[in-house]
Every structure is written in C-alpha cells, then in structure tokens.
Chains A and B, each alone.
Chain A
Amino acid sequence: MPTDPHPFPHRHLTGIYGLQPWEISFLLDEAEQWIALNRGTAKHDDRLAGLTLINAFFENSTRTLLSFEIAGKRLGADVVNMHVAASSVKKGETLIDTAMTLNAMRADMIVIRHEASGAVHLIADKVDCPVLNAGDGRHEHPTQALLDALTIRRRKGRIDGLRVAICGDVLHSRVARSNILALTALNAEVRVVGPPTLLPPAIERMGVTAYTDFDAGLDGADVVMMLRLQRERMAGGFVPSPREYHALYGLTPERLERAAPDALVMHPGPMNRGVEISSSVADDAERSAIIEQVEMGVAVRMACLDVLTRARRGVPGWN
C-alpha cells in the first residue's frame, strides 16, 4: 500500500510506466466526478482559475488537443494552444529551448505531443511545472490508456481478469504501449494481435501474449481494442494493401463473433472505416464504446490536470 503522504506522488504524467496499480485506479476514481459534471448543464468548476495551461503540440492532432483544451477550460484554467506550424521550432529552435521558453512564461501545466519517443521526458526534466504527455512517438500516450481503462471499468464493472485483445499496428502505436502497461497493471489478460510486421520485437516481455492469427487472438475476448493503421504503412511497406489488411485483420461483425458474446469494441480514433474496422461494428451502439471513449477522455484529462496541480494550488495534504 502507498507509504507516500498522498495517493499520487508524481510531478508529471510522462507515461503509465512507473505508476502503481492503485495510482492508476486513483486517477480513474477521480475522473468519475467529472463525468457527472460534464453531463450536466453548468459544465464548470473553477479550481484551476488563474492557472495557465499550455498545449504544446509538435505533431498534428485535433481530438486530443480539443479534449485537453476543453478539460482545462471546464476547470477554469486559461488555455493556450501552441501549434507547431506557427512556432519557432520550424526555425530550428531546439526542443529544450522551446521548453525553457514555455517555462519562462510561467506555465502552470504543459501538455506535450511530439513525434519523437522520449521528447516529453526531455522537457519534463527542464521545467518547473507539471508536464503531461499527450503522445510521444511510439512510446506512450498515458491519458488515452486511462480513458480506455475508465471506459472498460464502467462498461464491464471491472478490469481484473478481463481478456483484452489489442489489435492492429502495435509496432507504431503509443496507445498500445500505454494500454499494455495500464491493463496488465490492473490485472487484465492482455493479448496483442496483428500481422507479424506490425508486432514489436520481444513484445511478450511486456507481459502479453502475441497472436498473428486474428481469429485466434479474438477468441473469447471481453474487449476488442482496434488500433489505427496509418495510410502510409498500408501500401506495401508493412502490409501489402488496405484491401488485404481488411481481409486478414479488419474487424467485421462475423469476426466479432469469435469474441465473447458481450465483447466491447474500442478504437482510439480517428478510424479508417473499411480498413481496420467496418462501419457496422463501429456504429453498433450495443457493442461499440468508441463514442464513450471520447467522453471519458475529457473526464480523465480533467482528473489529471486537477491532481497534478494540487501541490501547486496548495490543496491541504498535497504539498
């Protein structure tokens, strides 16, 4: 059990790696209250009033950026979005210089997305305020894993003992890595399923079972988590064609029959309909939790922003 004075003794959220199972659960518990608030009419809380949140996105994103922006605003923070296209990074400024600049502007929270694995660690070491990883290369995307865990927990009532199949381009996926860490920590039985060219080497050592046969990987799964396949990787580089990929690894209603009868279907978005997932599965309200994932995303990010700034805000017990 935790020996630290409070239940989340971390300055930053750079990844799921390094979090204890009870710390993950704590963040999920904290997120629950924000789901209720977000569903009401007065979607506002002012606990982050006066604090500045900078979303520094070095890689394009619509959904995650919007989700963090809404999360910050609903808690009363002043939110500033820095887009790479408009930044001096294009002029050759180093990442550390950019970080120092944001720091000097007295940001109270910095959310970073970057195309290079480890870029967020590099920045977190240099700034005084909490840093949240919104995706670094192929490494981690912790808030996505938290929102996925929250979605599963709410729909299934538990995570412990569930069979979760993470399917598709695991090799290039930070979503997959963070989910593997979070779900194995919470005692799920995790499988990764995909073409051998898109499964990372030695992935079993992360505590999962690897399948290259989609049907075998789906067999009896309680949760089927599909990953996005980047367009540029479909045309012969890693898989022969989108058509072949869909035939072998696309989630169709027939394929889904292999999974448990009440299996939950998830996708971090944006989806390639007709490639990794067919529309009839994605839009099946009974089975698909894809829209709910987006909703949970805002709640989880609100919880992370709240928890990570408690020390800064002088919340009793959180120095």
Chain B
Amino acid sequence: MELKPLAILNGRIIDPQGGESRGGVLIHDRHIAAIGDVTPGDAEVIDAKGALIAPGIVDAGSFAIDLKAFTAGGITRAALMPDQSPPLDDAALVQRAAAAGKPDVWIHPIAAATRDLAGEELAEIGLMKAAGACAVATGRHSIADAAVMHRLLSYAGALDMAVIVHAEDRALTKGAVATAGETATRLGLPSAPAIAEAIAIARDLMLAEDTGARIHFHQVTTATGFDLIRAARKRGVRVTCGITPAHLLLSDTAIGLFRTFARLTPPLREERDRLAAIEAVRDGTVDILCSAHDPQGPEAKRLPYVDAEPGMAGAETLLTLALTLVRDGVIGLPRLFELLSTNPARLLGLPGGTLAVGAEADLILVDPDTPWKIDADRMAAKAGNTPFDGLPVQGKVLRTIKGGRALG
C-alpha cells in the first residue's frame, strides 16, 4: 500500500550526525526524502510548532513486548531480551517474536546464548541469526561457567553477532536483593558487594579480548565497572556498554521503606557509583541508554521486598528521564540521540538512528520542556512499576512516526 507523503514542518531537527538545525522533514514512501527547508507539495502536513524532530529510539534490550509503552516512549525499534516464557533459544520462537510488533514497532529478538538460558549448552545461535535474531544475550544473569562464556564469545564472534551480557557475579549475588551499603544494612536486606559487577566485567572483557568478539554490557552501574571498560577500550577490546536512566538518577536510598518498584537487577547503587555513572555518560564511556523495560504487575511486586520480582517499567519514561542529562548539561541533544538511537542501531546492525535522506522514516516529535508528573497508575505500559512514581519531570514524546506513518 502506498502511503501518502508526510511533511513535518517548523521543527528543531536533532540529527545525531549533523547536529541541530531548524526546519522540517519530507517523507515519501516510508523513507526520508528531504530535510531542512522542505516544500510539502501534496503531502499531509504536521506542524511541529518548534518541537524536536529526532530519530526514533532504538531500545537495546527490553524484557517485554509492550507496544503501547514503546509508542508512548518514542521507541520505533525494540530489541527483545531472550528472557521470555519460553526463552528465545530456538529459531521458531525468534521468528514469532520478530513478527509481534509490526507494523507499529519493530521487535528485534535477541537470541538466548544458552539453551533455556541455563548457562550450560550453547543454543542454536546461527539458526536464530538466520531467523532474525540481531544479537545474542546471556539474559538476566551472567554465565557462571567461564568455559561456556569463552566458547560463546568465540562462536558468536565468528557469526559477527554482538554478545549482550548481564554482568553480576553469580556466587556473590546469590540471594542478594540490594547493593551492600548503608541502605541494605539498615533495612536488613541480603546484599552483595558492588564489585560483583566489576568481577564479572573483568572476566568477560578478558574472554572477549582473547576471542576478538564484540561484547556489550547491557547495564553497567558501578565506578569500577566503568574503569575496567575504559581500560579495555584503550587496549582495543571491542566493548560497548549501556545503562538505564534509573541507575543514573536514583541511588539505593530510593528503596525507602521497602519500595519494591525500586528493586532492579543490577540493583540501584550507592551515590558514589551513581555519580560515576553520570561521569561515564559525560566522558563517552557509556554508549547506550536503554529502558530494560520489564513491566511487573502487583502479583510480582506487592510482596515483601526479598520476594518481589526485580524490574521496572521503563520504556515510556526513557526519553523523558534521559532529557534530564541534557538539562543538567551532561550531554547535548545530538549526543543524547546517539545514545538512544544511533549507537543501539549500530550495535544491533539495524537501520535507524539517523535523519539522513534515504533513511527509513522512523522519527519522533518531542516537546523537551512541558512539565508533567509520572504516575504509576496511569502508564501506557502493561504495568506501572516505575521507581519514579510521583516524580515531576519535563519533556514528552508528542508523536511517534514509524516507517512514515504517524502512530497514536
């Protein structure tokens, strides 16, 4: 079906590659036909009224297919973590997941690294790649066995698939629900030292260096973790890393008196690690901002803290919260969209992340300023488990345009 041409006028164009400019975008046949001072002709016109025009967000690692939340958050492509029920460890499951969001949001399944995500036997990564898997991931946990991890990295490396890793030492974090420190001690919560992350990162960086594979740490949250990645990058290791807004904006004190919405993996860290994470965004160590979207209903969250499931609904607040970094002067808008769109697209080998002529017309209109309040009871997501409930924020996605079609 031929789509009517679409012209978006009077915007602030944020092109991660080209910087900021005033103007509009003309879309023909699902692709960007012109940028800047465009003439709409017979196209349908959307007046941006000064809003930002930016590439659609490519979310590098959501735990659920949640189309409403993705669209509300300006996510036009979502990489799906293999931690599904059943886990994405088979080509047929990958194929089915890949079709789940079209045409509004494209879901890009990430293959489970091991069968049943058990960390023991390699899954059929090659067949899953052929079925549409964009990368390989260890899931919510790290692989405890270094030999399995070594084989995984060399095998995936040969297939040129990035390996997305959860970095927390299994033995140290067993039974833990918080990072070791004053908060966990006061609340009497079982905790693991923050170095559980760095230990896992150190091992996996060495294995990646040895095999030459591409490795991506889904969420890095500690000062020592970032230091290891900086050093490895200097040695030429092909490493990238991500983080969620929660770990940048909240410390473990957000747990308050046992607020289970703040139970995450990796857990919210102490303030000094949070500040180190902000610094890592500023100095370029962090490549990707992701949602780690994991909606969990009351059955999983209205429980004692140690029994509650970890995870947060993060998709629709990803951009809003990330805009805080711009307002605080940590990064500029073009860099923000590099972290949200360009870099994840590159990591996963997906189109998107650019506003160049000829690129697919995945873009969003963003009002960066309007104040609103996050309300867990009024989320687009399947569940409202956000640790930011009640927080006054600024900036909202106005329209999400996927493949030249305005959604919502």
Q: Real complex partners, A and B?
A: yes
A positions within 8 Å CB-CB of B: 17, 94-96, 114, 116-119, 121-122, 136-140, 174, 177, 200-203, 205-206
Stretch from B53-61, B188-196, B199-207 that touches the partner: B188-196
A122 B304 Cβ-Cβ under 8 A? yes
B304 A174 Cβ-Cβ under 8 A? no
Most B Cβ at <10 Å: residue of A118, A122, A138 = A118
- Report B-chain residues with C-beta under 8 Å of the C-beta of A117: 187-189, 258, 304-306
B191 A201 Cβ-Cβ under 8 A? yes
B186 at the interface (CB under 8 A from A): yes
* Min distance, Cβ B218 to any Cβ of chain A, angstroms: 25
Determine the distance from Cα of A206 to Cα of B181 in the docked complex, in whole angstroms.
11
Interface of A is mostly: mixed
B185 at the interface (CB under 8 A from A): yes
Determine the distance from Cα of A17 to Cα of B185 in the docked complex, in whole angstroms.
13
Determine the distance from Cα of A202 to Cα of B269 in the docked complex, in whole angstroms.
14
Determine the distance from Cα of A115 to Cα of B366 in the docked complex, in whole angstroms.
47
- Report B-chain residues with C-beta under 8 Å of the C-beta of A95: 303-304
- Report A-chain residues with C-beta under 8 Å of the C-beta of B288: none
B positions within 8 Å CB-CB of A: 180-182, 184-191, 193, 257-258, 299, 302-307
Given A121-B257, A122-B258, A201-B191: A94 in contact with B185 (beta carbons within 8 A): no
- Report B-chain residues with C-beta under 8 Å of the C-beta of A205: 182, 185
A137 B185 Cβ-Cβ under 8 A? no
B193 A201 Cβ-Cβ under 8 A? yes
Inter-chain pairs besides A118-B305, A202-B180, 18 sampled, C-beta below 8 Å: A94-B302, A94-B303, A95-B304, A117-B189, A118-B258, A118-B304, A136-B188, A137-B306, A138-B188, A139-B187, A139-B188, A140-B188, A177-B186, A177-B188, A200-B184, A201-B180, A201-B181, A205-B182
Determine the distance from Cα of A300 to Cα of B181 in the docked complex, in whole angstroms.
32
| Contact among B185, B187, B189, B304 with A203 in the assembled complex (CB-CB below 8 Å) | B185
- Report A-chain residues with C-beta under 8 Å of the C-beta of B180: 201-202
Determine the distance from Cα of A201 to Cα of B193 in the docked complex, in whole angstroms.
9
| Contact among B181, B187, B191 with A118 in the assembled complex (CB-CB below 8 Å) | B187
Q: Which A-B residue pairs are the 7 nearest by beta carbons?
A: A138-B188, A118-B258, A116-B304, A139-B188, A201-B180, A200-B185, A117-B188
* Min distance, Cβ A239 to any Cβ of chain B, angstroms: 18
Counting residue pairs across A and B whose Cβ atoms lie within 8 Å, the total is 65
Determine the distance from Cα of A136 to Cα of B257 in the docked complex, in whole angstroms.
13
* Min distance, Cβ A211 to any Cβ of chain B, angstroms: 16
Interface of B is mostly: loop
* Min distance, Cβ B185 to any Cβ of chain A, angstroms: 4
Determine the distance from Cα of A288 to Cα of B390 in the docked complex, in whole angstroms.
51
B184 A201 Cβ-Cβ under 8 A? yes
Determine the distance from Cα of A138 to Cα of B189 in the docked complex, in whole angstroms.
7
- Report B-chain residues with C-beta under 8 Å of the C-beta of A118: 187, 189, 257-258, 304-306
- Report A-chain residues with C-beta under 8 Å of the C-beta of B191: 201
* Min distance, Cβ A68 to any Cβ of chain B, angstroms: 21
Given A174-B188, A177-B188: A202 in contact with B182 (beta carbons within 8 A): yes
Determine the distance from Cα of A117 to Cα of B181 in the docked complex, in whole angstroms.
16
Q: Which residue of B lies closest to A116 (CB)?
A: B304
* Min distance, Cβ A257 to any Cβ of chain B, angstroms: 31
- Report A-chain residues with C-beta under 8 Å of the C-beta of B187: 117-118, 139
Given A118-B258, A122-B258, A201-B193: A17 in contact with B304 (beta carbons within 8 A): no
Determine the distance from Cα of A117 to Cα of B175 in the docked complex, in whole angstroms.
13
Most A Cβ at <10 Å: residue of B190, B193, B305 = B305
Q: Which residue of B lies closest to A18 (CB)?
A: B257
Determine the distance from Cα of A206 to Cα of B182 in the docked complex, in whole angstroms.
8
Q: Which residue of A lies closest to B304 (CB)?
A: A116
Determine the distance from Cα of A165 to Cα of B181 in the docked complex, in whole angstroms.
22
Listed by A's residue number, 12 A-B pairs whose Cβ atoms lie within 8 Å are: A94-B299, A96-B302, A118-B187, A118-B189, A118-B304, A137-B304, A138-B190, A139-B187, A139-B189, A174-B188, A201-B180, A201-B184
* Min distance, Cβ B328 to any Cβ of chain A, angstroms: 27
- Report A-chain residues with C-beta under 8 Å of the C-beta of B306: 116-118, 137
* Min distance, Cβ A204 to any Cβ of chain B, angstroms: 9
* Min distance, Cβ B255 to any Cβ of chain A, angstroms: 9
* Min distance, Cβ B306 to any Cβ of chain A, angstroms: 5
- Report B-chain residues with C-beta under 8 Å of the C-beta of A136: 188
* Min distance, Cβ A13 to any Cβ of chain B, angstroms: 14
